Amino acid sequence: MPESLTDAELTVLGLVAERPRHGYDLEAVIEARGIRQWTSLAFSAIYYVLGRLESRALVSSTRPDGTAKGRRVYAATPAGVRVLADATRRALAELRPTYPSILVGLANSPALPGAEVVDALRTREAQVAERLAAIQAARAAQEPVADFVAAIFDYATTQLEAERAWIATTTANLEKNMATKSDIKRDRKDLYGPRAGSFQLVDVPELPFLMIDGKGDPNTSPSYQDAVTALYALSYALKFASKSQLGRDYVVAPLEGLWSADDPTVFVTRAKGDWRWTMLITQPEWITAAMVDEAIRLTATKKGLPAVDQVRFERYAEGLAVQVLHIGSYDDEGPVLARLHHEFMPANGLTFNGPHHEIYLGDPRRTEPAKLRTILRQPVARS
């Protein structure tokens, strides 16, 4: 059975087979040839790798100056040359699997808004361009180089140029799809794009929603977390079904909540244990009840989410409402709601006509509380 070498061991063995080298000489050639672009071989690891190769009699070391503290020079042994040849043939011929993290990122990209995916890919594109420029500069500084060194540089630059072209094509396609993809936040800015700091009247039409009910503090209630997880799982299942079955793609709408209580002042005082809630996510008009039933069946089967079977698909009409964009922590909403309830509504002859409604434009898992964006909406009637 051929002797197994790590990529780092094979690289170092090859370098000392070219000619005897000491540690600093190895570091210089590793840096000059850009070897760290394709092999994990830190300077601190060079002597460790040499020690492993020497313990297996694949390299030997001497001190040419004859002193006990002189610089140790390493060379490949005859056995090392044979192992090097065998391992090199395999490395050239075998197509080994790679596990680039970008594929994991792409697989999870539906969890991000399209614009964030594009921005992340453009950041990667800039890093690719920097690395490509560094490799080209390193080659230019060493010209003329041996054929095998030129081939290494060519391989690295070809891969980077291909990735840069792929990123350009991918971001262009994503931007094209974003322009044609349905997005309720973009398409209905009257409902999902209010201004911060000022109350606005809006007429909210009947819309289709996935909905689920519960009660209690959303920060501590397990049923609340189960409900939100179920809503998102079904919303993404419907998105993928719509794209594959109907050829119609869209951006999953933001999470919304209808909040009620026997005593409305608990929203101002933030007595969350007394809150009743209905969490909901609006769906495109072309989503049917049959598609929802199938999504519930498949999601319950595959993911075993406890609240999936509690989700219902209904249309909800809100009508006339007052709304405002609140920027900041959820717990800082109290003064805004107090102004709405006790100043704006009485001054404009408005009374309550439905549960308090919130629309969460920010993701609290990735956004600091001071930057959270929440639409506060109150259905009203004229008194």
Q: What is the DSSP string of 270-320?
A: T-GGG-EEEEEEE--TT--HHHHHHHHHHHHHHH--TTGGG-EEEEE--EE
159 residue type, one letter? Q
Please tell me the least confidently modeled range out of 73-87, 160-174, 328-342, 360-374.
360-374
pTM of the model: 0.57
Query: Rg of the chain over CA atoms, in angstroms?
Result: 31
Mean pLDDT confidence for 111-127: 87
Predicted pLDDT at 296: 94
Buried b (16+ CB within 10 A) or exposed e, 256-276: bbbbbbeeeebbbeeebebbe
Separation CA 281–CA 292 (nearest Å) = 13
Mean pLDDT confidence for 29-49: 83
Q: What is the CATH number of domain 7-93?
A: 1.10.10.10
Q: Which helix (H) or strand (E) holds 204?
A: strand 200-204
In the three-class reduction of DSSP (H, G, I as helix; E, B as strand; rest coil), residue 102 is classed as helix
Separation CA 120–CA 44 (nearest Å) = 32
pLDDT, one tens digit per residue, over 264-278 is 666 666 677 778 999
Report the 10 Å Cβ neighbour count for 228: 19
Confidence grade of residue 334 (pLDDT, cut at 50, 70, 90): confident
Half-sphere exposure of 51 (CA within 13 A, CB side): 5
* H helical segments located in 60-146: 78-93, 101-108, 114-142
Predicted pLDDT at 371: 87
The yes-or-no verdict on residue 291 having pLDDT over 90 is yes
The yes-or-no verdict on residue 255 having pLDDT over 70 is yes
Predicted pLDDT at 77: 95
Looking at the chain, the whole-number percentage of residues with pLDDT higher than 70 is: 95
Classify 186-382 by CATH class: alpha beta
Confidence grade of residue 229 (pLDDT, cut at 50, 70, 90): very high
The yes-or-no verdict on residue 37 having pLDDT over 90 is no
Predicted pLDDT at 269: 63
Contacts of 273 (CB under 8 A, 6+ apart): 216, 217
Mean pLDDT of the chain: 89
The yes-or-no verdict on residue 211 having pLDDT over 80 is yes
The yes-or-no verdict on residue 1 having pLDDT over 60 is no
In 3-state terms, the chain is what percent helix, strand and coil (to 5)? 55, 20, 25
